[in-house]
Structures are given as structure tokens and as C-alpha cells.
Structure 1
Amino acid sequence: MNSIRRIFSMGTAALVLGAGLLAGSSGAAQAAPSDCVGGAKGFTDIPDSLSGRGVGGAGAVIANFGGTPWAVASYQMHTGNVGGTSMGWGVLSTSSSTWGPGAVGWVWMDVTNDNKVSWIQCGPFTTSASGARITTPAYPTSNSASRAFRVCAQVTSPSPVSGITCTPWW
């Protein structure tokens, strides 16, 4: 009986530790849009329709259900002129043909000013609409080698969940 309790206790401890590590590692759970909208932390609000030059890579996030894509979204980093200043921002576009009921697309942008030792997370911003396009607020670019950007995305729904993927630092 003691060995069953010990196994159960160790299993419970491992589960709690694992849940804590998982919760602590999720970038999307540690920040909020309010951290960077309305001019907070040097960010500038931009319209979702703003397009710039694609830089730093792009990718797709796919939540599969039973081996079939349930929700598909693409993400990328853009740079361009915003109010006379060169800035970078993230873009997420959801698929109009593959977007299951209850799917949610998430996008956020990380900015570092100390060569990736630490960073500011802007977002996540979400959409549940198929064929949607959303952007993060923009942040000034710099010639400094210590400033870098990356854009991250994820797709969630009632069952399938994609992994979090990010562009390389740019």
C-alpha cells in the first residue's frame, strides 16, 4: 500500500512540476495586448490593413485534427514607414478555406534591446475569423546590433492546438 501511495505522490509531484514549467514557458500566457497598445513601451498602434516589406522570415501554423488541417494561419514580420519612422510589426493571416469552428489565431511580437538577453512581448493579439488579417503594434527599428525583433504565432481551437512558432530574430 505504501508503494502505491509513493508512486501516486511522485506522479502527482511530477504532474504539478510539469504543469508549472509548461505554464512558465508559454510566451502567450505571460503578456497581454495592454502591455503595448496606446503607445505603451514605445509601441505605435497601426491598422490591421498596414503592409510593409516582409523581413526576418515567415511561416505557417497548423492545428491538425485526425491528421487533417483544422485551422491554418500564416505569420510574418513587416517593416515600413509609420508616421515618418522606420518600424517593425507582426502580421497574422487566417485561412479562408481551412478555418474550423472555434479556431483562434494568436500573434505577438518580441522586441529585444539588449541582444536577446531579455525582451518585451507585444501581445498576443487574437482573431477567430476565417480570412482575417491582424497586426501587432509597431516598434521603431534601429541600426543598433542589440535591437532585434521576432514574430510568433499559434492556432488553438476546442481540440487541436498548434505549437508556438516564431520567425528568426531580425
Structure 2
Amino acid sequence: MHSIRRIFSVGAAALVLGAGLVAGSSGTAQAAPSDCTGGANGFTDIPDSLSGQGVAGAGAVVIDNPHAVASYAMQAGNVGGRQMAWGVLTTGSGGNWSPTARGLVWMDVTNNSGASWIQCGPFTTFSAGARLTTAAYPTSSSASRAFRVCAQVTSLGTDSNIACTGWW
């Protein structure tokens, strides 16, 4: 009888521990602008007005209810004497941006060929006609370093859409 109780206790403890790890892991995976602003994790703050060369493609994120459109892209250029990459989001204006819409942009950087990555952002705007950038990160000739930019448009309703560039 003691062995059955012990097996049950060990199994229940393992189940609770496993559930705690699964539930706890979602909280630790959340990224924030503070993970890459102010020089954190090797990133460099840049002004939202900074433009560079378009790399790795670009796209648009659209929601229908309410209607909102935002474009996103990855750019690269010289920042403080170093070649760097960053993400850009531009929200629609007029009939292409609802007052209840929210645009988000973030950039993922991997230094190990995508096995893991650092997320820079998301950076958020509710404004029509806004241009928003992520912090910039140094490019490298190493094949293991790659970047991608992702964008999301949401509304206070239920509509949401996310899109990303390919890895560059």
C-alpha cells in the first residue's frame, strides 16, 4: 500500500512540476522594448526617422474589421560608423487606419543560425501615418547571424494579423 501511495505521490508531484514549467515558460518568453533599448543586448537606439537600404523583403499587414493597413520592412545602413539592421513599420492614414487599430513591429536576431534568437520589441503605435523603428543591431559576415522583422496589426475588436520577412 505504501508503494502505491508513493508512486501516486511521485507521479502527482511530477505532473504539478511539469504543469508549472509549461505555465511558467510562457511568461519568460515575453519580450519587451527594454530588452533592446538603451544599449541592452548589443542593440543601438535609432530615431524613427532613420532610413536605410531595404533588405530581406517587405510587406503589408491588413485587418478588415475595422480596416487598417501597415507596411513593414527590414532596413540596413550605417549607424554610428557600424553597419546595422533594423525593422520599420509605417501605419496607414485616412481610410487605411482605424482609430481603434494598433500597429506593432519587432526584430528577431539570431547568432546561431536560428536555433535561438533575441526579440527586439514589440514597439507599438496607435497613430495613423506613424513611422516606427526597432533598435538596430550590427550585421556580420558570419553565416550564423541573421535577422527578420515581424509586424502585427490588431484592433480593439477581434481582428489581428501578423507577418514576417524571411531571415536575412
The alignment's TM-score, normalised by the length of structure 2, stands at 0.81
**Corresponding residue of 2:101:** 103
Q: How far off its partner does 1:159 sit? A: 1.1
User: Once the two structures are superposed, what CA deviation does each residue of 1:117-138 show, in whole Å capped at 9, x if it has no partner?
Assistant: 0000000000000000000000
Tell me, in whole angstroms, the C-alpha distance in 2 between the residues paired with 1:88 and 1:30: 22
Q: Gapped runs of 5+ residues in structure 1? A: 1-19
Amino acid at match of 2:72: Y
Name the count of aligned residue pairs: 144
1:6-155 alignment runs, 5 A limit: 24=26, 30-65=30-65, 70-97=67-94, 98-155=96-153
- What amino acid is aligned across from residue 76 of structure 1 in structure 2? A
CA distance in structure 2 between the partners assigned to 1:163 and 1:105 by the alignment: 10
Root mean square deviation of aligned Cα = 1.8
Determine what percentage of the aligned residue pairs are the same residue: 69
Q: How far, CA to CA, are the matches of 1:70 and 1:108 in structure 2? A: 22
Question: Offset of 1:37 from its aligned partner?
Answer: 0.2
State the one-letter code of the partner of 2:67: W
**Could you say what secondary structure the match of 1:125 adopts?**
strand
Structure 1 position 160, deviation (Å): 4.3
Offset, 1:102: 1.5
Q: Distance in 1 between matches of 2:97 and 2:34?
A: 27
The alignment's TM-score, normalised by the length of structure 1, stands at: 0.80
Q: Which has the larger radius of gyration?
A: 2
- Secondary structure of 2:44's counterpart equals coil
Q: Structure 1 residue runs of 4+, over 3 Å off?
A: none
The answer on whether the counterparts of 1:76 and 1:167 sit within 8 Å (CA) in structure 2 is yes
| Distance in 2 between residues matched to 1:51 and 1:34, nearest whole Å | 22
Query: Residue 3 of structure 2 corresponds to which residue in structure 1?
Result: none
